Every structure is written in structure tokens, then in C-alpha cells.
Amino acid sequence: YVWPSPQLDALEAQRWDQDDLFSGLAGFIEPCDFFTFGDGTGRANTADWIRTAYHDMATHNVEDGTGGLDASIRFPEEQSRGENVGTGFENTIDPFVGFMSRHISLADLIALGLITAVENCGGPQIDFRGGRIDAAEPNTPGVPEPTQDIDSHVASFARQGFTQTEMIGLVACGHTFGGVEHQSFPNTVPDLNDPNNTLSVAHFDSTFGAFDNNVATEYISGTTQNPLVVGLNDTTNSDKRIFASDGNVTMKSFASSPELFASTCATLLARMLDTVPRGVELTEVIKPLPVKPTQVVLLLDGDVLKLSGLVRLFNQSDDSSRSVALLLEDHAGKTTTNVTLTQDHISHTMGGRIQSVWYAFNESSEGSPTLSVDPVAGITKMRFIVDGKLEDQGGVGFAVQDGVVFSSSSCLTSNRPTTGRFDIAVRNGLNVSRVYLEQEVKDDVGRISVQETDVAPPVQPVAAGEAYSLWSITFSDENFTEYTIGAEIDGVKFSTIEKHGLGDLNLCTKSTPQRRI
Ligand code: HEM
């Protein structure tokens, strides 16, 4: 895709900046057997995340198109069903909710949780598409349980959209992580009395925090301790029935080839994540942009436009001799700025297999982290030159919108109660039909939408330098909410990326009057 695209940019960051400051779930699963939810050992967040994705998806019905990966597992009503025993779902959803935004649903985060867990803990790369929609209500029950017989399991996976062979694959791909906990399944797993496994979790294989084919090699060699294969209670030995249901052909192939196991899991897990209710349209597979501007902020500050941001070079070594230059093009088509950028930080993805190097939009590490641009000339696009090679998305450049920007003349009119004025600078000569503040709000089932508050056009134009006029709105805000700025320019909606809140503003002083023409 071509940058900027607000939703794809956000999904791309969450998917490919797995351990970065701004996004990334990987911090919750380092090391891979890390467990954050309550005291005790033997469980791992990775396993909870993978099981959550499966149980959310497993309600799908291919016939009527209902159910699927839609975060319906967040509803207490669904979590309290016998088929969803345990605390793993809460453990998964609690931290994920903080990563939701207008562009990323909880269901997308559940999908990304599985991908991050598998990729960061030794597994293959999994294709990710975004655009899942969070359900408004619980789905019909439908998660398979270990007490059911093989015919029920085959029928259950068929209802979810998977063949018998695919069922064997999916169960093995999931059960390379985690295990069965005594508290949830006391008849399958006894109290283990193990000081290194205080939650008494009988693991499916000897490496419960890692993706590998041990679940298959140990099963085929007869050394498996999988509690759903060698459990004392044969009624709950569902993995035994499933794995053996094709005469062990599939499990033998997994045991003899870690590569085949990994590639089969990559395909099956991607399909599992893309199993969504009928009518939901997923995006294209989110590929990493090789050169990606991020956190790009343009503000009007007095008589200058200030540009700040970062550019990420994906899959690059940490090379101090690399040169990265930023070129800015103005409304007349001229390149007005050509600065050499400084390295800012490094991030990793896929468990350290891929590294990204980030450069900040400032000329030196000591300088201010912004570039000044003449507002009259303005800015229309960015280009980068990396070690002499032009990076401009095949000629289109990286478009920057300078038509409607936040003005740093915004200030607090009163501290108690908190009342403030947002000044929004609108470029003269543009066809701007609306300016509004955007606030992310949650509905009564936790889904995020955007609430718009119109900013009335000024009664008389208020000049802000030669190129801009100010539209202002005064409002009180007890909740210190943050807003993005939205506008309709030539009938097309646009939003700033950065958020502003009254909490960030200083008290208005006499030196920030509004000038009138
Ligand atoms: C017939 C199908 C399946 C049955 C009967 C089944 C059964 C179970 C049971 C009884 C547990 C123990 C849960 C606990 O102790 O709280 C479990 C755990 C787990 N299952 Fe499955 N499962 C099935 C399919 C799958 C699939 C398809 C996946 C993923 C692709 C999956 C992923 C997991 C994971 C990761 C855990 C470990 C959870 C943890 O350790 O916290 N399962 N499964």
C-alpha cells in the first residue's frame, strides 16, 4: 500500500514493530514462558493468547456465516461457559484493550497476539490481515471440549470450516504451547506438587513456551506427557483420538519435518485468524513498508511550520555509516529542505529475526527534534535518500497534508475548571468545508468509534501569518481527553495523527492574542 493510509499504517505498526516503543505486544511475552496474570508458575501468556484466538474463532458456522474471530470472547457470558473454562481469556484481553484504537479492533489484536506469540517464540511468519469487527453480543456456543468423541470433533471443525486433516494440524499447532491446568481440569490433571510448576499445568510437550514440533516427535516416539494423550482419564484424551484419527499419518509427517510442521501451521493459523463473520471485509495482507515515516506531526508555531517525526528502515543492520536524508517538497514543486537525519533507536520483530533502524527528523542529536518550514511555501511531500538511493514510493513521494494543522497558540483560558482554546490553522485558499475535533469513544460493549465536535468557522477571519487563518474552539474538559483534528478538504475527510489535550497546554498569556485582519 501507499503511505499514508491511517488504518493500514496503524495495523502495519502493530504487526511489524512488535517490540517498539509505540506499539508492540512482544514485551508481554519476553521470555516466552512469561506469565503476568496472578502468582504461580507453569502457565505462559503466549499459550493464553493462542488459546484465546482459537476459542474466539471456534464459534464460527460456515453455513450461516455467524461467529468467528470477532472478540466475542470478551463477553463475561461467553467466558463463563463450560467450554471456556479458565482465566486465560481475561489474561489475554486485559492488556490488549489498551492497544485498541479507531483503526485496530480488539479482534485484530487477538489475531496479532497469536501471531506475535508464534513468531517471537520460534514459530513461522504468519500472514496478517486487519479489519476484524468486534461483535456486539456473545456468539452461539461451539468450542470443542476434551470429553467429546472423535465424530463430534470432526463435525465441529467442519462447522468451523476445517477438514479432518486440518483439524489434526490445528490442534497440534496450538498444543505446541501451554498445557492443561489442574484447577480447570481436576479430573484430567492431578495436583502436581511441583515447586517449579505451582499452578500444576501438565504441558502438552517438553517446551511449553516455544513453537516447535516436539508435540509431534514426542507423540510419535511414545515419550509424550501430553495430558490429552496419556491422561489417566481416557474420556478427556481428545488429542489422542484426534492425532490418531488418520492412522497417525499427519502427526508422523510433522514429527519427521519441523519445516513441514512450521509451514502447515503458518497456513492453518492464518486461515483460522481470517475466519470472521460473514460480511466482514479484511484488508490485504499487511506487508512491512521498507521505508516508513511514523509519528509525523506538523504544527503551526508562530510564523513557522514545525515538522517532527521518525522514519523507519525495515530489516536493516545497525550501520553508523549509513546516510539518511529527508527532502521536503513545497506547493510550488520545489525541494526546500534537504537534511541529514540522525539515528534515533532500533527495534525488533519476529523474536529478533528482523531489525528496524529509526531516524528522527532533526539535523543533529543535540538539536530540537523538529524541522522548521516556511508556511508560505508549505509542504506537500517528503522523500528520503538512503545511502544515495531515492526512496519515494516509486515517485509518488510521502504526502504531507499542511492544509489544516494544530496551532501552538492554543492555550488554557482557565485552570479551574480546566477550560481551554484550541486554535486550528487552516491554509488560505483551500476549500475547507468543516473542521472538527475527533474523540475516540467506547460504546456500551467496548467498541471504539469517533465522535466529532464541530469547530465553527470564525465570524471574521483571524490571520495567522501570511498563509494561514485560525479557527478556534473554546471548551472545558474535565476528563483530560485527547483529540485529533479532523477536516473536510475538497469534500475529503482528513485527520491528524497526533492527539492534543487541554492537559498539554499552558495558560494563555497576553502575548498570544488572536490577531484580526
Ligand atoms: C478438539 C479441539 C481442542 C480441544 C478439545 C482442546 C482442549 C484443550 C484443553 C482441555 C486445554 C487446557 C485448558 C486449561 O487448562 O485451561 C487446552 C489448552 C490449550 N489449547 Fe486446546 N483444544 C483444542 C484445540 C485447540 C486449537 C485448535 C488450538 C489453537 C490453534 C488450541 C490451543 C490451546 C493452547 C495454546 C492451550 C494452552 C493454554 C494454556 O496453557 O494456558 N487448542 N486445549
pLDDT value at residue 417: 86
**Is the distance from the beta carbon of residue 48 to the nearest atom of ligand 1 less than 6 Å?**
yes
Give the number of other CB atoms < 10 A from CB of residue 294.
19
Tell how far the Cα of 275 is from the centroid of ligand 1, in angstroms.
18
Positive or negative, the CA dihedral 125, 359, 294, 19 is positive
pLDDT value at residue 514: 52
Which numbered atom of ligand 1 lies nearest the CA of 189? Answer: 15
**Is the distance from the beta carbon of residue 420 to the nearest atom of ligand 1 less than 6 Å?**
no
Residue 509 in this model has a pLDDT that exceeds 90: no
Give the number of other CB atoms < 10 A from CB of residue 376.
15
Question: Please, which residues bridge with residue 293 across strands?
Answer: 311
**Is the distance from the beta carbon of residue 203 to the nearest atom of ligand 1 less than 6 Å?**
no
How far apart, in whole angstroms, are the C-alpha atoms of residue 450 and residue 324? 36
Mean pLDDT of 328-341: 93
Q: 28-54, pLDDT tens digit by residue?
A: 999 999 998 878 999 999 999 999 999
How far apart, in whole angstroms, are the C-alpha atoms of residue 342 and residue 362? 7
* CA neighbours closer than 13 Å in the CB half-sphere of residue 513: 5
Q: Measuring CA to CA, how many Å separate 318 from each of 21, 161, 185, 315?
A: 18, 44, 49, 10
pLDDT value at residue 391: 98
Name the nearest CA neighbour of 220 among 249, 200, 188, 177: 249
**Is the distance from the beta carbon of residue 184 to the nearest atom of ligand 1 less than 6 Å?**
yes
Tell how far the Cα of 21 is from the centroid of ligand 1, in angstroms.
31
Q: 192-231, pLDDT tens digit by residue?
A: 999 999 999 999 999 999 999 999 999 999 999 999 999 9
Residue nearest (by alpha carbon) to ligand 1 atom 1: 144
Tell how far the Cα of 174 is from the centroid of ligand 1, in angstroms.
7
pLDDT value at residue 364: 58
pLDDT confidence bin for 468, thresholds 50/70/90 = very high
Residue 272 in this model has a pLDDT that exceeds 80: yes
pLDDT value at residue 23: 66
Residue nearest (by alpha carbon) to ligand 1 atom 8: 146
**Is the distance from the beta carbon of residue 358 to the nearest atom of ligand 1 less than 6 Å?**
no
pLDDT confidence bin for 330, thresholds 50/70/90 = very high
Q: Element (H or E) spanning 499, and its range?
A: none
How far apart, in whole angstroms, are the C-alpha atoms of residue 254 and residue 258? 6
Tell how far the Cα of 175 is from the centroid of ligand 1, in angstroms.
6
DSSP state of 235: G
Which numbered atom of ligand 1 lies nearest the CA of 153? Answer: 1
pLDDT value at residue 366: 60
**Is the distance from the beta carbon of residue 171 to the nearest atom of ligand 1 less than 6 Å?**
yes
**Is the distance from the beta carbon of residue 173 to the nearest atom of ligand 1 less than 6 Å?**
yes
Q: Let me know: does 86 contact 15? Beta carbons within 8 Å.
A: no
Mean pLDDT of 332-349: 92
**Is the distance from the beta carbon of residue 185 to the nearest atom of ligand 1 less than 6 Å?**
yes
Query: Distance of alpha carbon 157 from its chain centroid, rounded?
Result: 28
Mean pLDDT of 458-464: 93
**Is the distance from the beta carbon of residue 145 to the nearest atom of ligand 1 less than 6 Å?**
yes
Name the nearest CA neighbour of 110 among 121, 119, 120, 99: 99
Which numbered atom of ligand 1 lies nearest the CA of 50? Answer: 35
Tell how far the Cα of 92 is from the centroid of ligand 1, in angstroms.
14
Tell how far the Cα of 256 is from the centroid of ligand 1, in angstroms.
23
Q: Measuring CA to CA, how many Å separate 418 from each of 34, 443, 481, 504, 505?
A: 42, 25, 12, 11, 10
Which numbered atom of ligand 1 lies nearest the CA of 180? Answer: 15
Residue nearest (by alpha carbon) to ligand 1 atom 11: 180
Residue nearest (by alpha carbon) to ligand 1 atom 22: 171
Tell how far the Cα of 50 is from the centroid of ligand 1, in angstroms.
9
Residue nearest (by alpha carbon) to ligand 1 atom 40: 178
Q: Element (H or E) spanning 13, and its range?
A: helix 6-16
Tell how far the Cα of 134 is from the centroid of ligand 1, in angstroms.
23
Mean pLDDT of 460-469: 94
Helix (H, G, I), strand (E, B) or coil at 477: coil
pLDDT confidence bin for 517, thresholds 50/70/90 = very low
**Is the distance from the beta carbon of residue 175 to the nearest atom of ligand 1 less than 6 Å?**
yes
**Is the distance from the beta carbon of residue 88 to the nearest atom of ligand 1 less than 6 Å?**
yes
pLDDT value at residue 511: 56
**Is the distance from the beta carbon of residue 54 to the nearest atom of ligand 1 less than 6 Å?**
yes
Which numbered atom of ligand 1 lies nearest the CA of 228? Answer: 10
Q: 116-159, pLDDT tens digit by residue?
A: 999 999 999 999 999 999 999 999 999 999 999 999 999 999 99
Q: 83-105, pLDDT tens digit by residue?
A: 999 999 999 999 999 999 999 99
Tell how far the Cα of 167 is from the centroid of ligand 1, in angstroms.
13
**Is the distance from the beta carbon of residue 42 to the nearest atom of ligand 1 less than 6 Å?**
no
pLDDT confidence bin for 362, thresholds 50/70/90 = confident
Domains and CATH numbers, the chain: 31-273 (1.10.520.10), 291-297+307-399 (2.60.40), 404-504 (2.60.40.10)
Residue 426 in this model has a pLDDT that exceeds 50: yes
Tell me which of 116, 171, 192 to substitute to probe ligand 1's pocket, judged by most ligand atoms within 8 Å of the beta carbon. 171
Tell how far the Cα of 245 is from the centroid of ligand 1, in angstroms.
18
Residue nearest (by alpha carbon) to ligand 1 atom 31: 174
